[in-house]
Structures are given as structure tokens and as C-alpha cells.
Chains A and B, each alone.
Chain A
């Protein structure tokens, strides 16, 4: 570890002023609240439009039978993102920059280009969801998409990370409405509890569509952009070594909240299953169950779909802008004004604007976009996660306090092997469909 000259200068400054409290518990609560944010945002933004669709399809096709997958995924999400938070705090840099610095230009460029491509394709699906959901509410895509894109741009150009973070946390908390929707559709709560802890096989047995839906749930719960996003976000927030335990708690709360919201989405999908509603996307389900479940469910699903897409779009676009800015050596911070970090903001605006414009093209091949997302995610996720694991074992960079412990490595290598296998299987199913007939 080396002390940068510029850092030496600032370290000698007097301690910054803060809030004075009297009790130790107040200190802990206040520190946690100050650190809280990146963990919740990265997890809840992962419940984006694609995730809403996947979880509701899981409920719509298999009822409550796949609820157990979420319990399995909770520790997986936590362990992966905890490594990201630890690396971000230890280095103060983003994931893309670390791959460049420690693995060289080839791997750095590969990771960056793949990330940018998969993120852009995912953004198209987010805007497609906004267009679908608001069309069902009678708003033309030619109004909803540009207005959303403008709102998403205004969210970030205020020159304040904290302002952006507060807006996004508020959007995350809107997802609490999923619990109200799950309550309104009145599932059999005893059956919900049983299915959550007891992996059961749906009627019809283990079919290829069941297997691939399970893989899709895994794929949507652990997305490649999350690794890049949280590390950059932690660096942006300048979290300190002493904040690590609170960053871990933030990540755990985020993972738990996300899994619970995903479960609520499955319960709403299950309502469609119970009433034999066939649907291809959540907007269709919302419209179909409206006369049965009421206006609250209909409008709730549609508006929450938009919220999910907005959350996903801002996080994914920022992941791209941070990664590109880090690698290019540009100013890449939400603390900067628009004119102080033009490249960073231009990347964000270009991602949002181009994805929004793409959706407005008549007869756009969305199915091809969705398939491409799965293929590129299959390329980037295993590689990004391998680099993460290797960086967390890099003693020369991190020193002993921050590297993985042996038990970390046992768990993480297991997760990596499973993710490799599932990514390969999903990509193979997409590209070689005849193999799975």
C-alpha cells in the first residue's frame, strides 16, 4: 500500500466536523444511516423490468413452486456483493479500473466493451417495459419514453451524489407497494410458507422450460452490471475502512428486501396462475387480472413496472458511465457539475437517449434484443466474477486485512462454478435450442 502525495497533503488537514451525539448507540445508528444506500440501491435496482417479468412468469407458470429459489439466492447475492463493497472500500476505485490495472488492457477492454453492450441492450428492455406499461394506462410511447428519458437525465445532472441517492432510495421504497399487492391478491399463506422452505416439483415434473426458468431467475437476480455499479458507488460515496461493517449490513438489508419484493412479484404472478391467465409480460397480466383483482392491482402492477424500469435504467446507465469514465481517465463523479465531467455525463445521457430512441423505432426486434442480453450476460458475468474473486485474493494490492478468508473462498468459488455452469447452459439453450428439444 502506498500513500499518494496528494492524499498525504489532505490527510494532514484537521478532522472534518460532523454531528455530535451522546450515546454509543446513536453513533452506530447515525453512522449506519450515513453509509446506507449503495447496497439497497444495487439490489433493488436489480429488480428491474426484466426481473419483474421473470418473477411474474415464474408465479404465472408454476404458482408458488419456485419461491424456494429466492431463499437459495439470498446468500448468493449477499456474498457476491459483499466482496464488491469490500473491494470498493479498500481501493476507492471502480471494478473496471481495477480489472484494467491488475489484468492488463486486453481483459480490461474485453470487460468494458462487453459490459457496455449488455448494459445498452438491457436498457432497451427497460424502456420497452416503460412503453408497454404506460401504453396500458393510455399514454403513448412517444410521450412516455422521452419524458422518462428526460426525468432519468435530470436525476443525475444536479451535481450531487447525495441528491441522486435520496431520490433513488425513495424509488426503492416505492417497491414496498409490492407487499400490498401480494396481500390484496390473498394467496394461501400456509402454502406460501411451505413452498418457500420446501423445494417442490410442479405438476408436470422437471421440464426444460422449468429448468430454464430457474436459470433465468438466477440470471436476473445476479446481473453483471451490479458488480461494476456497487463498487463504483461505494468509491463515489468515499466509504471508509471503518464503514465496512455498515456497508455489509446495507448489502444484507438490500439483498433481503430484494428477495422479499421478488417473492411478492411471484405471488402476484401466482394470482394469474390461479385464474388461468396466460400472459407474456406483466402488463398483459395486469390488464387481464384487473377485472378480477381490482383497479389497485391493475394500476399497481403497471406503475411498479415503470418504477422497476426507471430504477434499473439509472443504475445500469451509471454503471456504464462510471466504468467508461474510470477507464478513460475522465472525471467520473456525480459530485461534479455537468460541465466539469462532460464525458461521464455524456455517456450516461447517450445510454439513456439511445436506448429510449431505439424503442420508438417501429417494429423493433425486441425478441432479438432479449436473446442478445442473455448471450452477452453469459459472457460478462462469469468473467467479471472471476476477476472479482482474483482481486479479493490479491495480497499485493489489498494486504491481509481485506483479502478473502479461506471460508470466503470456499463459498465464492462454489458460487462461481455454479454461475459458470448456469451461464453456459442458458447461453447454450439460447444459441443451440435444438439441443434441448
Chain B
């Protein structure tokens, strides 16, 4: 708790620094496994894969271009 009203002094507030406070229950992924493949998750990951493949192809092209391996193919 960030702030608590003291039981014996109802008009006073006890402000605790997060690092000095008692740990609280967080949202845990334990036992949940991987994220559920809903249509939006599946679509997002497909788009991401496509994007990364496109970037990889561009990067390969750039490396080959810098190495001079593509000069015979240029118009």
C-alpha cells in the first residue's frame, strides 16, 4: 500500500517508499504457458514475420551490393 491511514491517528497519513514497502501480489505468468493464439495475436505475429523477412532480404541485398556481387545484374 502506498498510503495508509493510521488506525490510532486517523488524520495522519503514513507514506511508504516503494522499496521499503511489503511486496504485493503481481500478475504472474506461472502456469499460464504461452500467450493464447487469438486471431489478432496470430495476425500480428504473421505481419511481424513478414516484416522481418523483408528487412532480412533488404539487408542481404545491401551486403551483396556492398561486396560488389550484384554489379553484373544491374540495369
Contacts and interface: CB of A to CB of B under 8 A. Distances in A.
Given A18-B16, A102-B35, A237-B18, A378 B55 contact: yes
Given A243-B2, A390-B35, A90 B27 contact: yes
A234 B46 CA distance: 30
* Secondary structure class of chain A's binding surface, majority of residues: helix
A396 B58 contact: no
A394 B3 contact: no
Given A26-B13, A92-B26, A396-B36, A432 B18 contact: no
Interface residues of B, number: 45
Given A102-B34, A382-B48, A382-B51, A240 B1 contact: yes
Interface in A80-104: 90-93, 98, 101-104
Contacts of A397: 27, 29, 32, 35
A17 B15 CA distance: 8
Contacts of B14: 15, 17-20
Given A11-B23, A378-B55, A103 B48 contact: no
A15 B62 contact: no
B17 interface: yes
A34 interface: yes
B26 A390 contact: no
Interface string B1-36: 111101001011111111111111111111110111
A402 B28 CA distance: 13
B32 A424 contact: no
B74 to A, nearest CB: 9
Contacts of A335: 19
B18 A1 contact: no
Contacts of A350: none
Contacts of A420: 51
Nearest to A372: B59
B34 A103 contact: yes
A26 B19 CA distance: 19
Contact of A15 (B1, B17, B26, B32): B1
Nearest to A10: B23
A126 B11 CA distance: 51
Interface in A389-411: 389-391, 393-394, 396-399, 402
Contacts of A394: 35
A1 B28 contact: yes
Interface string A265-306: 000000000000000000000000000000000000000000
Contacts of A427: 55, 58
A393 B18 contact: no
Contacts of A19: 14-16
Interface of A: 1-4, 7, 10-11, 13, 15-24, 26-27, 30-31, 34-35, 90-93, 98, 101-104, 161-162, 237-243, 335, 375, 378-379, 382-383, 386, 389-391, 393-394, 396-399, 402, 420, 424, 427-428, 430-432
Given A1-B27, A161-B19, A398-B27, 8 more contacts: A1-B26, A16-B21, A16-B22, A20-B9, A34-B17, A102-B32, A397-B35, A431-B62
5 contacts: A13-B22, A15-B22, A101-B29, A240-B21, A335-B19
Interface of B: 1-4, 6, 9, 11-32, 34-36, 40-41, 44-45, 47-48, 51-52, 54-55, 58-59, 61-62
